[in-house]
Amino acid sequence: MKDSDEKILGILGGMGPYATLDFIKHIYDNTPDVSVDSDHIRVVTDINVKIPSRTRAILFNEKSPVDGMVSSIKNLGKLGASVIAVPCNSAHYFYNSVKLETSDNWINMLECVSDAVKAKNLRRPLILGGYVTVSKKFIKTFFLMQSI
């Protein structure tokens, strides 16, 4: 593959900086057919710990993280990212608002999990997450909309 054809994964992290590092480790630990370092997926990452708290925005109507997320996603696109991953459950609460302002291809974690649950024909998946993820039931609501 020519460098110009190379697909680059952008990761918007920092909303749980260690979760971002763990996600990157999982990517590299599970990339198939790797013999040398250059066989790995190219990744650009913005560990932006300055994005306002999703939890505080959701629970207390404080400053929204949307502007910070949009800015970081656009910057990842400028660095060549053709697809964006955001390894943060509560960030996906703002998925639709962020998508309105970005043209980058953000992988919707809820859709990925939903597709996996459907493929395995699971009837009652257990949803684990932090306080916001569980109390606001946005994953459960998404699953119900997907007939899971």
CB crowding 84-112: b at 16 or more within 10 Å, else e = bbbbbbbbbbbbeebeeebebebebbbee
Q: What is the mean pLDDT of residues 6-28?
A: 95
Q: How far apart are CA 43 and CA 27, in angstroms?
A: 10
33-37, 60-64, 84-88, 128-132 — which is least confidently predicted?
128-132
Average pLDDT score over residue span 82-102: 95
What percentage of the chain reaches a pLDDT higher than 70?
Answer: 97
Give yes or no for a contact between 53 and 64, defined as CB atoms under 8 angstroms apart: no
Residue 104, domain member (yes or no): yes
Domain presence at residue 71? yes
Rounded Cα distance, 11 and 77, in Å: 10
> Could you tell me if residue 16 is inside a domain?
yes
3-state secondary structure of 137: coil
pLDDT of residue 3: 58
User: What CATH number should be reported for the domain holding residue 77?
Assistant: 3.40.50.1860
Q: Which residue has the higher pLDDT, 80 or 139?
A: 80
In a domain, 48, yes or no: yes
pLDDT above 90 for 111: yes
Mean pLDDT of 104-127: 90
Lowest mean pLDDT across 62-71, 94-103, 133-142:
133-142
pLDDT of residue 130: 86
Does the pLDDT at position 129 exceed 90?
A: no
114: in domain? no
**87 assigned to some structural domain:** yes
Q: Note the pLDDT tens digit of each residue in 38-72.
A: 999 999 999 999 999 999 999 999 999 999 999 99
Residue 136 lies in a domain: no
| Residue 102 pLDDT > 70 | yes
Give yes or no for residue 1 having a pLDDT over 50: no
Number of structural domains the chain divides into:
1
Is residue 120 included in any domain, yes or no?
no
Give the range of the structural domain holding residue 16, as residue numbers without chain letter: 3-108
**Quick check: pTM over 0.75?**
yes
Going by C-beta distance under 8 Å and a sequence separation of 6 or more, which residues neighbour residue 18?
Answer: none
